[in-house]
Amino acid sequence: MSRLPSELLSEVFLQALPNNWSSALAGRRPLYLAQVCSRWRDVAHQTPQIWSTIIINDERNPPAECEADILQELARTGVTPITIIIDMANDGEHLIYPVIWPPGSVWKDTERIWDALCAQSHRWTACSLYFLPPSAFAIDRRLSFPHLRHIGLAMNPPNPDMSSAPPLHFFADALGVDSLQLHYCRKPPSPLVIPSAWTLTALSITFNDVIFQRAFLLCRSCMPVIMSSSRTLRLLRLSNEFFGNFPPENEPVHFPALEYLHLEHASIHICRLIIAPNLKGISMHGRSVSTEIPGDEITGFEMLLDRSSGCPSLQHLEIHVLRAVSLTRLLILLERLPRLTYLRLCGGFLSEREHHASRAVLRALTRTANPASRRLLPNLTRLHLDIGQNTAILTEEYMVLLRELLLSRLQPTTATTATATPCAVEADSALAYLRELISDNSEVLDDLPPGLLGYFQTPTDSYGDTYKH
C-alpha cells in the first residue's frame, strides 16, 4: 500500500468508506483510515469525492460549534460536484413550540456557512434544505446552478395561517432539475407553480399538518403540477395526514413512465385519477391513528388496476393498515397480481379480524396440493410481515401456520429435508420459491427453515422520516 500512487490510493479509499459515510455529519465524521499515517491523511484530505456530501444539522453539528470544521471539509471538495443537506428543524421543536423557538432562531450563526455554500452553487448537484428561514433565500445576487438535478425543501412560515410558498424563485437558473421534493407544515399556496424548464421524473409532496392539529385536505393546488408532469414522472410520493374530499373523478390522466408510487393516507385516492400501465411498485400507508375515520382507499387502487390493464409489470406491493379492507377483499386483490415478487403486509394496531398478517392470510398464502393455492402469488420470493402493535396475534397456532407457509414456499428439496410435512409441494418449474422473510418482530424470525434468509427491520414512522424521504 505504501508504494501505491496517490491516484490509486484515492480509489482504494473511496471503496473503503464506511457504509454510513454519505449520511454522516460534516465536521463530525472521523475518517479512521486517514489516521493510519501522514501520507494516508494527506491523500484522503486531497480526495474531493470523499467530502462531496455536506450535511449540517442544527442539533448534532450546529454551525456555531462546527463552523471551522465544516468550512474545512467544504474546502477539501475542491472543484468536484457536491450535495448539500441542511436540516434546521431543531428536531421539530420550533414547529411545535413556535413561541419558545421562533422561526429563524435556529438559523443564528449559520449565515457564514450558507454564504460559503452559495458561493459554490455552480457545483451543486443535489440539495435538501429543511426549514431554512425566508431570509436565506432572499439573496440579492443571482446564483447559478448549472448541474443541479434534485431540490428538496421543507417550509415553515412564521404565521401558522399563512400559505407557505416554496422558494423556487431561488432556483430560477437551475434549468436541469428533474427531481423535486416538497414538505409542507402549513396550508400550501394556490397554485403550486414550478419553472417551465423543469422536466420532472421524480416528485414528492408531503404534508405534516398533524403537528398543528389542522385538518388541511390534500391540496388541490398541487394537482396541476402532478398532472402536468404525467408524461415524464417515474416516481411519485404523496402524503397527507387526513382524509377528505378528493378532487372529482374526472377523466383519468395517463402516466406512461410511472414506475413507483408511494402513497400515504388520503393521498392513496389519487389512484382514482391516474392510469399507470408500467407501474413496478406501489406502497400504500393508511392512517395509523385508530380514531381517524377510514377512507375507502382500496377502491382507488382497484380502479387503477382496472384502467391500467392490471399493471402487468407490478412486482412490489406494500399495504400498511388499510382499515376499510376486509381480508377477503385483500386476498382477491392479491390474486390479481401474479407477478409480485415482493409483498409487505403491515397490520399495525388492527384486530385479528382485520390484520393484514393474520392467521387467515397465512393460510391463504400457504401452498398445498390444491392447484388453486399455487396460483396465488406464484412469483413471490420476498415476504415482509410487520406485526405492529397487535402482538397478541402471535399465538402458538400462529407460529405453526407461519412455519407451514414458509415450508410450502421453499424449494421442495429444502422443505423436505427440514421436515416431512404435507405442506411441502412437489417441484413446479412455473413457481418461484421464497428466499427472504422480513419482519418487525424477532419472534417471527425465530427458528426459520434452512435455506430461508431472515431480516429484522423496524418500521420507521417518525417526524423526520416524513420529509426526508
- Structural domains for the chain: 51-468 (3.80.10)
Contact 28, 72 (CB under 8 A): no
Give pLDDT, residue 293. Answer: 54
d(Cα 48, Cα 120) in Å, to the nearest integer? 14
- Grouping H, G, I as helix, E, B as strand and the rest as coil, residue 263 is strand
Contact 45, 14 (CB under 8 A): no
Please give the chain's pLDDT, 469 residues, in tens.
667 788 888 898 899 898 889 889 998 888 888 888 888 889 989 899 999 999 998 888 888 889 999 999 999 999 999 999 999 876 455 555 555 555 555 676 788 899 999 999 999 999 999 988 888 898 777 899 999 999 999 876 656 566 667 899 999 999 999 999 998 876 666 678 899 999 999 999 988 654 444 444 555 678 889 999 999 999 999 987 655 555 556 789 999 999 999 998 888 889 999 999 999 999 998 865 544 555 678 888 999 999 999 999 999 999 998 876 788 899 999 999 999 999 999 988 888 888 899 999 999 999 999 998 999 999 999 999 999 888 999 999 999 999 999 999 997 754 444 544 444 445 566 799 999 999 999 999 998 999 899 999 876 543 334 444 3
pTM over 0.85: yes
Contact 321, 347 (CB under 8 A): yes
d(Cα 383, Cα 402) in Å, to the nearest integer? 11
Residue 396's Cβ-side half-sphere holds a number of Cα atoms within 13 Å equal to: 0
Cβ-proximal residues to 234 (8 Å cutoff; 6+ apart), any chain: 201, 202, 257, 258, 259, 260
d(Cα 114, Cα 381) in Å, to the nearest integer? 47
d(Cα 298, Cα 186) in Å, to the nearest integer? 28
- Grouping H, G, I as helix, E, B as strand and the rest as coil, residue 53 is strand
Nearest to 152 by CA among 83, 92, 219: 83
Q: Among all chains, which residue has been given the C-alpha cell 392467521?
A: 359
Give pLDDT, residue 210. Answer: 45
d(Cα 248, Cα 250) in Å, to the nearest integer? 6
Cα distances (Å, whole numbers) of residue 283 to 61, 278, 418: 33, 15, 34
d(Cα 445, Cα 422) in Å, to the nearest integer? 22
Task: Specify the DSSP element, H or E, that contains 390.
Answer: none
d(Cα 78, Cα 72) in Å, to the nearest integer? 11
Contact 347, 354 (CB under 8 A): yes
